[in-house]
Amino acid sequence: MWRQVNGLLKCALIAGFGTLGITNSIAQSFPNKPVRLVVPYPAGAPVDNFARGLGETLGALWKQPVVIDNRPGANEIIAAQAVTKSPADGYTLLLGSEAAFTQNAFLYSKMPYDADKDLAPVTRAVYFNMVLITRSALETPTLKDFVALMKKEGTKHSYGSAGAGGTTHLAMESVKKEAGFEMLHVPYKGIAPAMQDMLGNSIDAMIAGATAAISQMPTGKVKVLAIAGSKRAKSLPDVPTFAEAGYPKVVANLYLGLAAPAGTPKPVIEKIAADVRKALADKAFLEKNVEPYGYETIGDTPAQFQAYMKQDKEISGRRIKELGIKLD
């Protein structure tokens, strides 16, 4: 009997090592065809710009094209769901934020996917410190001036976001709460259309990535009043941080992380994470896509990203409850 048991154990071990060998072989040859990077925002948005820069760098490293697939709308749900329904082979990846990974679970009573079960964390790429942008015509040169005007006539003014319940929405709600004023919220499908409406004088303010403001500052129609984070951006040296402007508790930042469909082989996930870290160490990539906008690189491991998601879920749930935001 023991001989039979030992024989079965040996067969199981051989089969296990064989499967591991095949999986490792797949990882070593990955990728051997184009990789699709699903982006939850429209072309031209700050997240899309970063995605394209990352895609170009990874494409050069992999010697395979990285195709950007823009799937905006529904607070990143459309993009995330598209990835969860894709083959678990590493060739479809999501570049999402807190919205897709943790926040939506608290904003909606029903979700078409479960981030914990349906997505496999790969790595957090960068941390965005966002900026408060206003119409220059408001004639509020500082955050103090803006807050004073909003306290006086805030309900006459509106702010835009990249979508209800998204990070840009929650960030502006954080400013409102800390400064004690009201404004009307106008959600868009991305920051790019919101910026177009701001240039057309339809909305008065927004919080977004620095890239959204920098590209429009030469027009003279927008003003950047503050930036989140502990330091100023190289491209905006005259813009104070929220702390410097008197509001240290304002939360206006987001991270961009990559995830694959659940079930993607672990060696493939680890290879993608390692290659993203290589991209984040590329000097040309940093100079073009990271440093000018005050972003901070992360490049953590899949295990570290998963641990962060667990921690962030607790923080996001508490924060959303405090702000009293529900989208259904």
Query: Does residue 298 belong to any structural domain of this protein?
Result: yes
Out of 139-143, 227-231, 290-294, give the one with best mean pLDDT.
139-143
- DSSP H or E run through 126: strand 119-129
The answer as to whether 162 is a domain residue is yes
Domain shared by 161 and 306, yes or no: no
Residues 125 and 297: beta-carbon distance below 8 Å: yes
Number of domains in the chain: 2
296: pLDDT confidence band, cut at 50, 70 and 90? confident
Where a domain ends, among 208, 227, 246? Answer: 227
Residue 43 has pLDDT above 70, yes or no: yes
Query: 141 and 118 in one domain?
Result: no
DSSP string, 180-209: T---EEEE-SSHHHHHHHHHTTS--EEEE-
User: What's the whole-number mean pLDDT along residues 173-182?
Assistant: 95
| CA distance linking residue 69 with residue 93, whole number of Å | 10
Say if residue 314's pLDDT is above 50: yes
In angstroms, the CA 138 to CA 95 distance is 35
Residue 160 domain-assigned? yes
What is the distance, to the nearest Å, from the Cα of residue 265 to the centroid of all Cα atoms in its chain?
A: 24
User: Do the Cβ atoms of 126 and 311 come closer than 8 Å?
Assistant: no
In Å, what is the CA distance from 44 to each residue of 110, 156, 194, 195, 202? 30, 29, 12, 11, 20
Euclidean distance between CA atoms 287 and 298, whole angstroms: 16
Name the residue range of residue 53's domain. Answer: 34-129+254-323
Residue 24 predicted with pLDDT over 70: no
Regarding whether 258 and 119 lie in a shared domain, the answer is: yes
Are residues 223 and 136 located together in one domain of the fold? yes
- 23 domain residue, yes or no: no
Same domain, 137 and 220: yes
CB 241 within 8 A of CB 232: yes
- Contact between 143 and 172 under an 8 Å Cβ cutoff? The reply is no
Same domain membership, residue 192 and residue 259: no
Are residues 141 and 182 part of one domain?
Answer: yes
Residue with tokens 């702390």: 243
Task: Reply yes or no on whether the pLDDT at 3 is more than 50.
Answer: yes
Same domain flag for 175 and 110 = no
> Is residue 121 domain-resident?
yes
Same domain for 135 and 115?
Answer: no
Q: What is the pLDDT of residue 164?
A: 86
Report the percent of the chain where pLDDT is more than 70: 92
**Mean pLDDT rounded to a whole number for the chain:** 90
Asked if residue 262 and residue 120 are part of one domain, the reply reads yes
pLDDT of residue 5: 47
Residue 172 within a domain? yes
206 and 138 inside one domain: yes
CATH number for the domain harbouring residue 317: 3.40.190.150
- Give domain status of residue 146, yes or no: yes
pLDDT in tens, 198-209: 999 999 999 998
- The answer to whether residue 2 is domain-embedded is no
Q: What is the CATH number of the domain that holds 143?
A: 3.40.190.10
Residue 327, sorted as left (phi over 0), alpha (psi -120 to 50) or beta, turns out to be alpha
Domain shared by 118 and 142, yes or no: no
Is the pLDDT score of 138 beyond 50?
yes
